[in-house]
């Protein structure tokens, strides 16, 4: 009998992470759209005006980092996550804000980090490590206003570097 293909445990955890992002975005009143092909960006969030429920035509790009194991140096307060150099270059080179969503789907826990804020200069980029405060950066309904502030205001226009 031929050996059957299997689904890895990490594939299941990854899908659970995407499902958790979708659920949390809906709780915030936002819409998460996962991408079929993951190339360093797992999807995007369409932001919605909290008062009128109007779609704002403003998006955040999202990269999910789901794990059943602790993140590096994880404590009850924080953890550190070393980013792949190619991923970091991709995230910082675009014109849309990118957030990382770290999660332990089996524990229903998620946190987020704004890539540009985590790596504001050459010294921080050289470390390739983002430090996440678990209390300050919970990815849930309370994060909605912070995520909205990350979007570029429509009146600022679009700048494409030469």
pLDDT digits over 38-74, tens only?
789 999 999 999 999 999 999 999 999 999 999 999 9
Q: What integer pLDDT is reported at residue 136 of this predicted model? A: 96
Q: Helices (DSSP H) in 2-55: which residue ranges?
A: 9-28
DSSP 87: H
* Beta strands 55-66; 98-104: pairing state: parallel
Q: What integer pLDDT is reported at residue 160 of this predicted model? A: 57
Exposed/middle/buried for residue 22 (C-beta within 10 Å: 0-12, 13-18, 19+): middle
- Parts of the chain with a pLDDT under 50: none
CB 53 within 8 A of CB 133: no
Q: What integer pLDDT is reported at residue 156 of this predicted model? A: 57
| C-beta neighbour count of 141 within 10 angstroms | 13
Q: How far is CA 28 from CA 22, 24, 81, 95, in A?
A: 10, 6, 25, 24
Give the pTM: 0.90
Q: What integer pLDDT is reported at residue 158 of this predicted model? A: 56
**Residues in a beta bridge with 110:** 103
């Amino acid at each position: 009998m031929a050996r059957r293909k299997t689904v890895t445990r990490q594939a299941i955890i990854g899908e659970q992470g995407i499902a958790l992002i979708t659920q949390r975005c809906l709780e915030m009143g936002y819409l998460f759209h996962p991408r079929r092909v993951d190339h360093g960006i797992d999807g995007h969030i369409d932001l919605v005006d909290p008062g009128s429920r109007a779609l704002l035509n403003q998006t955040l790009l999202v990269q999910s980092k789901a794990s059943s194991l602790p993140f590096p140096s994880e404590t009850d307060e924080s953890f550190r996550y070393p980013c792949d150099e190619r991923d970091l270059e991709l995230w910082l080179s675009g014109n849309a804000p990118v957030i990382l969503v770290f999660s332990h789907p089996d524990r229903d826990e998620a946190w987020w980090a704004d890539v540009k804020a985590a790596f504001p200069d050459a010294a921080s980029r050289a470390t390739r490590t983002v430090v996440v405060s678990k209390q300050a950066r919970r990815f849930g309904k309370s994060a909605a206003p912070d995520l909205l502030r990350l979007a570029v205001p429509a009146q600022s226009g679009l700048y494409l570097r030469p």
